[in-house]
């Protein structure tokens, strides 16, 4: 297999300004310098003519083009426009009433940019290599899916009855390109930034070139989250009810540590109340800064955390976040927990209504202004307050980023790290 290319959707606008480097061609004719195009009557107006689509190509691996005024940080307080520079080919297509710019780039180049922007410059080489394999697996799976003749059947992700509200969230695929350049897929800024860690990232990418995680010949769905809380969660407790053989329950620790059954309420409470030995049980700032790129703004307490709401606060919060008027909240009762202690179904009992809520992300959305760290918690009821004692950060399925950073620091190599978190999978070099 030859190194594939990835089609990355950069932006969609009515009008796009861009600058082509020296070696670009369109239909065999050289073209360079400042360009501008605009959507017109369902076509692209460029250079005085209307086109269905455009493709600017180059054979020069070092050639770049610049897109002007790309909006970054959409809806964040730091939203701004900047010029961004990319390698590879540039195509434009019509989508609705805008023109979409697509960067067609070799996947190893794409990965260098994505990983350099995601990972801290202090990350160990093993951690960078493990991430390279995961990102490459994810990306190749996206490309494969886009090529498959029949679109994937639409998955039900919602169960709503009078007394149950069970929902999970899976990312939707793009129609006209493989991935977008936002956080929805993976943040990609081409070669716009001079990343501090770019040489080490390139070294990690070269060392794992073409390698993906496979299970029975298929590329793995290599999920990951910030911190499992000591035990890794199973796929079906967070998404569709279909077990995935390599996204399973396991103790995030050296071999030989016991693996309690956290689906049992008493064991879950005891587990969360303790601080059991685990790879991700660390407060070492050097390691945390490797796995969390905005570490300075984040809390350090996510292996075990605590949150207190007055009854009034909690009642208001739940009504606002769920759109359901429960009245005064009387109790929060876990009905079903996953392998890591994450609550899959939570019964909310109020003075006016009682309803069962799930799965983990829906629980985290409803019980917090943004997202609760995780749904692995137990509730301590005080006179006029609810105290949530919790464990972990994120869904907890697959690779635990803090745990993997610790493993890297302890001298584990990237393939041992990957096979710890995705048991039964294998690493295969595709090109």
User: Which residues of the shown chain bind Zn ion in the complex (CB under 5 A)?
Assistant: 180, 184-185, 228, 252, 280, 400, 403
| Shortest distance (Å) from residue 393 CB to Zn ion | 9
| Shortest distance (Å) from residue 4 CB to Zn ion | 18
| Shortest distance (Å) from residue 177 CB to Zn ion | 9
C-beta closer to Zn ion: residue 145 or 184: 184
| Shortest distance (Å) from residue 49 CB to Zn ion | 31
Cα 233 from Cα 225, distance rounded (Å):
10
C-beta closer to Zn ion: residue 67 or 400: 400
C-beta closer to Zn ion: residue 108 or 252: 252
The pair of structure tokens assigned to 100 is: 């979409």
Cα 205 from Cα 193, distance rounded (Å):
18
The pair of structure tokens assigned to 398 is: 């697959």
| Strand stretches in 152-303, DSSP E | 158-160, 164-167, 179-180, 211-215, 218-219, 224-225, 231-232, 250-251
Q: Using the structure block, give the residue that is written with the tokens 């493990």.
A: 130
Query: Is 235 within 8 Å of 309 (Cβ atoms)?
Result: no
C-beta closer to Zn ion: residue 63 or 247: 247
C-beta closer to Zn ion: residue 185 or 357: 185
Cα 296 from Cα 80, distance rounded (Å):
22
The pair of structure tokens assigned to 341 is: 């202690």
| Shortest distance (Å) from residue 321 CB to Zn ion | 25
Question: C-alpha dihedral over 202, 108, 177, 83, to 10 degrees?
Answer: 40
C-beta closer to Zn ion: residue 345 or 360: 360
| Shortest distance (Å) from residue 147 CB to Zn ion | 17
C-beta closer to Zn ion: residue 227 or 363: 227
Residues counted in the chain: 431
Query: Is 141 within 8 Å of 219 (Cβ atoms)?
Result: yes
State whether residue 260 is helix, strand or coil.
coil
The pair of structure tokens assigned to 417 is: 């790290």
C-beta closer to Zn ion: residue 180 or 344: 180
Strand ordering across the sheet containing 80-87? 49-51, 43-46, 33-40, 15-20, 64-72, 80-87
C-beta closer to Zn ion: residue 115 or 407: 407
| Shortest distance (Å) from residue 280 CB to Zn ion | 3
Query: Is 363 within 8 Å of 343 (Cβ atoms)?
Result: yes
Helix (H) or strand (E) holding 26: strand 25-26
| Shortest distance (Å) from residue 181 CB to Zn ion | 8
Strand ordering across the sheet containing 211-215? 218-219, 211-215, 426-429
C-beta closer to Zn ion: residue 366 or 417: 417
Q: Using the structure block, give the residue that is written with the tokens 């949530």.
A: 388
| Shortest distance (Å) from residue 154 CB to Zn ion | 18
| Shortest distance (Å) from residue 400 CB to Zn ion | 3
């Amino acid at each position: 297999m030859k190194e594939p290319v990835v089609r990355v959707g950069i932006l969609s606008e009515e009008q796009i300004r861009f600058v082509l480097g020296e070696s670009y061609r369109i239909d065999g004719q050289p073209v360079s310098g400042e360009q501008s195009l605009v959507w017109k009557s369902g076509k692209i107006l460029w250079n005085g003519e209307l086109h269905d689509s455009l493709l600017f190509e180059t054979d020069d691996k070092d050639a770049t083009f610049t897109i002007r005024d790309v909006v970054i940080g959409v809806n964040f307080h730091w939203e701004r426009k900047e010029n961004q520079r990319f390698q590879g080919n540039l195509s434009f297509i019509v989508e609705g009433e805008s023109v979409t710019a697509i960067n067609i780039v070799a996947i190893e180049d794409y990965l260098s940019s994505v990983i350099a922007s995601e990972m801290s410059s202090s990350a160990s080489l093993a951690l960078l290599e493990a991430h390279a394999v995961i990102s490459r697996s994810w990306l190749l799976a996206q490309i494969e899916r886009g090529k498959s003749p029949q679109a994937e059947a639409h998955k039900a992700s919602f169960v709503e009855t009078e007394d149950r509200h069970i929902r999970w969230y899976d990312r939707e695929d793009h129609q006209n390109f493989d991935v977008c350049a936002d956080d929805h897929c993976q943040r990609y800024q081409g070669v716009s930034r001079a990343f501090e860690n770019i040489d080490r990232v390139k070294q990690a990418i070269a060392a794992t070139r073409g390698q993906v995680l496979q299970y029975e010949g298929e590329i793995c769905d290599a999920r990951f989250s910030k911190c499992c809380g000591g035990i890794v969660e199973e796929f079906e407790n967070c998404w569709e009810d279909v077990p995935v053989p390599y996204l399973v329950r396991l103790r995030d620790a050296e071999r030989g540590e016991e693996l309690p059954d956290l689906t049992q309420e008493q064991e879950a409470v005891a587990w969360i109340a303790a601080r059991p030995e685990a790879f991700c049980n660390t407060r070492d700032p050097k390691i945390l800064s490797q796995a969390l790129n905005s570490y300075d703004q984040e809390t350090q307490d996510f292996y075990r955390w605590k949150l207190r709401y007055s009854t009034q606060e909690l009642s208001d919060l739940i009504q606002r976040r769920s759109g359901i008027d429960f009245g005064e909240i009387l109790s929060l009762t876990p009905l079903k927990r996953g392998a890591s202690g994450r609550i899959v179904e939570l019964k909310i009992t109020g003075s006016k209504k009682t309803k069962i809520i799930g799965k983990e992300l829906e629980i985290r959305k409803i019980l917090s202004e943004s997202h609760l760290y995780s749904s692995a918690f137990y509730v301590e009821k005080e006179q006029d307050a609810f105290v949530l004692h919790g464990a972990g950060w994120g869904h907890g399925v697959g690779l635990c980023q803090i745990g993997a950073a610790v493993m890297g620091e302890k001298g584990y190599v990237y393939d041992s790290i990957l096979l710890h978190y995705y048991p039964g999978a294998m690493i295969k070099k595709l090109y």
